[in-house]
Structures are given as structure tokens and as C-alpha cells.
Structure 1
Amino acid sequence: MSGMKTTMLLAALTALFMALGYTLGGSGGAVIALLAAAGMNLFTFWNADKIVLRMHDAREVDAGSAPDFYNLVRELAQRAGLPMPRVYIIDQDAPNAFATGRNPENAAVAATTGLLSMLSREEVAGVMAHELGHVKNRDTLIMTMVATIAGAISMLANFGLFFRGSNEENGHGNILASLAAVIVAPFAAMIVQMAISRTREFGADRAGAEISGNPHALASALAKISGRAEMIPNPVAERNPAAAQLYIVPTHVSELFSTHPATEKRIAALQDIAQEMGAPALTAAPRASALSPAPRRRRSALDPHGR
């Protein structure tokens, strides 16, 4: 099923590329767009994880440079029965995390310094277990390809809009190019929303709760970071909104490309999972807040700089 969905996604994005190419350059433009899409699909399949990590200026860490964080991920991967992924830290205040890679054997997980500074060790474990849940459920290939290809489509549409006036003799073509640029971003967003089902987040939450053994910690982490992630600027998501669907919680620029269920619903589902697992009930369930206080680095149990 995952392979079929990926194939359908690539076919839809290729068709959109060809339509844009035809709008901007006629039949010749459609052929060029087809060749470009074929090359991009192949290149993205093998390199999408590298593109996404480079996009975020992520730095790879190991047991020597960030021992607490790296060893935590290794422990969780062993619990999940997964190969050890590559581990990255992103120097960014916005608290978030994501997983990438075409399969579990080539997976990578990343967390921002903002997230590592804000959460306790148990909460960080819940977040990273969620990301390993995406790896285990094999969500990462389609999520990463969507982030790169949908972003490229939006850039192509903006390029056509910017240069729509370069051919004064073809007013009809200019109008079509303008219309294409106006509608293509929402259409690309629709493809993202169809491809990245919101049930994937619920599935990764369940997998994360099972891997970490502590659904309450993941619920607490979601409550803490959801409001902050929407408030603090995320330069990567601002440049490429399609990248926002990679993150564990939405950013303040991801409404158009939102594929996340409401955080309150995810927390409620985690409370149900905790009951299924026989975990002690909390006296007060975590609540997501848009006005959560700024994180204090000294409370962090995991130093993102490995000190």
C-alpha cells in the first residue's frame, strides 16, 4: 500500500509539472517539464533526506559530540527493533523534530535545540520515539519526497508568475501563467494533504507511546511545544511551507499545508493509549496552550551541545 501511494503521488506531481510546463512553454515546455520531473523523481528518491537535512542546516552528532541525546535515540531504536538512524541537531529556537529517509536502513532523526532545551529527558524520549514510529511505519519516504517536490512545484509557479510579463506579444499566455501561479500552491497543498494522511500522526503517536513505554510523556511534550512552535519563526518553513508536514507539531506558517490533527485530539488519544497500557492516570491531563512560557535552558536534561 505504501509503495502504491508513493507511485500515485509521483504520478500526480509529474502531471502537475507537465501542466505547468505546458502553460508556461506550450508543448515544448511540457516535454521539458516531463524530463525534469522524471529526473527530479529519481534524484529525490535517493537524496530527499539529504536535501531536507541540508535545508535545515542540521549537524550530525554521535556519542562523542552529544552523548545524552545520541544514546537516548540508540536506546529507543533498540526497543523498536530498528537499525540505528543517523542523529542530527538543528540550531533553531522553534521546538520541533522530524524523521527522514527512504527506509529504516537509511533513516535519520533530527531535533531542534529549542526542543531539547525545553523538554525533560522523558519528554524528549517520547518525541523521538514518535519520530522512530514514523520510521517503523515507513512514513518517511513519502513525507520527505512531498516536502521537496511540492516545494519545487511552488517555486516553479512563482518563477512563472515573476516572468509572466517577459513576453508582451502573448498576452493570453501571460494570463494563463498568472492563473497557474495563483492556483498551483493550493493545488500542491491539496496533494500534500491527500498524500500525508492525518492518521499517520496518530499512528506515529501510538508507535511512539509503545516504543518509549510512556504515553504521558509524549502527551506532555506535545502540550509544551505545540504553542511555542506556532509562535516562534521557522525560517525553513517560511521559505518552503511544504516542509512543515515533516514536523511533529505544526508551525505558524503551515496552515495551508497542514496535515496534523489538532494537538488536543492527539493528547486525548494518548491518554486512551495510556489506559490501554495500564499506565497510571494523571491527575490533570496535559493541555496545549498558545501562551506556553518561554523555555529555560537550565531545566533541560539533554544538553544539545553535548556538554
Structure 2
Amino acid sequence: MNYVRTGLLLAGITALFGVVGMMIGGQQGMIIALLFAGGMNVFAYWNSDSMVLRMRRARQVDENTAPELVGIVRQLARRADLPMPRVYIVDNPQPNAFATGRNPEHAAVAATTGLLQLLSANEIAGVMAHELAHVKNRDTLTMTITATLAGAISALANFAMFAGIFGGHRQNNNNPLGGFGMILVAILAPMAAALVQMAISRTREYEADRIGAEICGQPLWLADALGRLDRGVHAIPNGDAERNPATAHMYIANPLSGKGMDSLFATHPAMENRIAKLRAMAGTPISPTRRRKRPWS
């Protein structure tokens, strides 16, 4: 059901792209917008991993430069029956992690220096298992395409705003609402795209939590990690993510501050709900109990 819902949401955001194009240029504008969307998706398919990693200034590591992290990822990938992904570290004090890549054969996982300093080996294993679950489900491609389309819709909406303001006095047979319609589209289209983007992210996060817990075999490792990450991201801002929020949904924990933001516009499910589901998987009470385990091996 989650895959069907994700497919419908992707279809919806693509249709929204066409609607914005139609409001700007009629049927011809819709066709051009949909062709443009297709071209952007092709570009995102082949370049999604390098785009995101460059944006976050991630550096690739190996057994010599980060033996513990690479060893954890290697063992988890073996347990998940996945090819070994490339492993990156992002120099950022906020504890967080993400995965990217068009398929399991071209995947990469990244952790921030803040995460590696904050979490135990067990908790790091839980987080990396969550990211590998995204790789296994091919969520990394879905989320990159979603971000690309949402960004393009925002760009089109800005164009519609200028066209509505400066060209609204002209008669536009393609747009029955004229300049007012363009301004309306410019306001509502990015909001609709953001809602669809967030709905897809929430759907995939719950599934990645479940499969990640199965990969590492210990739901509490991920539950404990999420609790500490939630406190960490609220205490330490992520300047890179704030400047480029389009990829915020790719992180395991929402890297944006947005303290006053309504839950409807949150890119991630409520952390307490995610933790509760993981604790239910482990058969433990929902109320947190801090217990240290032996290092994962």
C-alpha cells in the first residue's frame, strides 16, 4: 500500500507541474512543462547522488580513514543483501544522516561528524540500517525526483507571479483567470508541491524504520538513536540545510529548525511516533528506558 500511495503522490506532483504550465501558457505550456519535468527526472536519475553529496560537501571514507563506520555499513549491507554502498562523512556538528543514489548499485550513505560523536556503535548501526532500508526500497531515487519536481514547480510559480503582476493587464486566452489566476497559482502551487513532498517523505520514513530495525536485528538501537538525534537537531542548527531546504526530507531527522511550524508542514513524522513503533516492534513499553548495550559486532 505504501508503494501505491507513493506512486500516486508522485503522479500528483507531476500533474501539478503540468497544471502550472497550463496556467502560464495553455495547452502548449502544459506540454512544455511536462517535457521539462521528464528531462529533469532523467537528469536527476543519473546525477542525484553527486548533486546531493556536493551540496553537503561530503567526503568519501574507507577502511583506513573511518574503519568503524565503514565496518558497520559493510556488515549491515551484507545482512540486507545489498552491494556495499559508498560511505561519506559530512563535517557538520548537527547529528544526522542520509542516503542517496539512483539504485542499490550506485548508492551512498552519509553521516555527519555530529552523529558519529554523539551516538554509540549500536546506535550508529541502527541509523545506518535505516539508511540502507531507503536504499533497499529505492526511496533515494523517489525522494530526489520529488525534490527536483518540487523545486521546478517553485521556479515556475515565481515566473507565474511575475507574469501575473507585470502582464496581468494583457488578455490571455489560455488562462481564463488572467493575471489573478497566475498570482493564485504562484501562491498555491508551491504549497501543494511541498505537501505532496512531505506526504511521500512521511510514508517512506515509517517503512525505512521498520526495515532498518529488521536489518540490524535490534529495533531499540534505532529507537534510542532517534531519541538522541531528535534532541541533537533541536539543539544544533544545520546551516547547510537551512540554506538549501529542498533536500531536508532526505535526512533521518528533520534538519530544519522550524520550531513554530505546524505538524501539517513537517517533512518527517513525529519522532515520538516513530520511536513508539520501534519499541512496539521490540515488545517494550513506549516510555523510554535508557540501557547501554555492548558494542555491535
Q: Do both proteins adopt the same fold according to a TM-score greater than 0.5, normalized to the shorter chain? A: yes
Give 1:16 deviation, angstroms: 1.8
Give 1:84 deviation, angstroms: 0.2
Q: 1:272 matched to which residue of 2? A: 280
Q: 1:80 matched to which residue of 2? A: 80
Amino acid in structure 1 at the alignment position of 2:56: H
Q: Secondary structure at the match of 1:65?
A: coil
Q: 1:9 to 1:205 in 2, by over 3 A?
A: closer
Q: 2:268 matched to which residue of 1? A: 260
Q: 1:289 matched to which residue of 2? A: none
Contact 1:61 1:87 in 2 (8 A): yes
**2:150 aligned with 1:142:** no
Q: Secondary structure at the match of 2:99?
A: strand
Q: 1:204 to 1:6 in 2, by over 3 A?
A: closer
Please report the TM-score for the alignment, with normalisation by the length of structure 1.
Answer: 0.79
Q: 2:180 matched to which residue of 1? A: 175
Contact 1:189 1:242 in 2 (8 A): no
Give 1:132 deviation, angstroms: 0.9
**2:24 aligned with 1:19:** no
Deviations 1:264-283 (A, max 9, x none): 2222222222238xxxx999
Q: 1:191 matched to which residue of 2? A: 196
Matches within 5 A, 1:118-157: 118-157=118-157
Number of residues of Structure 1 aligned to a counterpart in Structure 2? 282
Give 1:19 deviation, angstroms: 1.8
Contact 1:97 1:110 in 2 (8 A): yes
Distance 2:199 2:106 in 1: 25
Q: 2:222 matched to which residue of 1? A: 218
Deviations 1:166-197 (A, max 9, x none): 43643864322221121112210232244345
Q: 1:296 matched to which residue of 2? A: none
Q: Secondary structure at the match of 1:99?
A: strand
Q: Secondary structure at the match of 2:111?
A: strand
Matches within 5 A, 1:226-245: 226-245=230-249
Q: 1:292 matched to which residue of 2? A: none
Amino acid in structure 2 at the alignment position of 1:243: T
Q: Supply the RMSD in Å over aligned alpha carbons.
A: 3.0
Greater shift, 143-152 or 77-86, is seen at 143-152
Amino acid in structure 1 at the alignment position of 2:278: L
Distance 1:246 1:24 in 2: 31
Matches within 5 A, 1:105-124: 105-124=105-124
Give 1:87 deviation, angstroms: 1.2
Give 1:33 deviation, angstroms: 1.5
**2:58 aligned with 1:58:** yes
Distance 1:236 1:24 in 2: 33
Q: 2:39 matched to which residue of 1? A: 39
Q: 1:236 to 1:19 in 2, by over 3 A?
A: farther
Q: Secondary structure at the match of 1:285?
A: coil
Distance 2:25 2:234 in 1: 39
Distance 2:8 2:245 in 1: 22
Please report the TM-score for the alignment, with normalisation by the length of structure 2.
Answer: 0.81
Q: 2:174 matched to which residue of 1? A: none
Amino acid in structure 1 at the alignment position of 2:268: H
Greater shift, 44-53 or 236-245, is seen at 236-245
Greater shift, 98-107 or 168-177, is seen at 168-177
Distance 2:57 2:264 in 1: 24
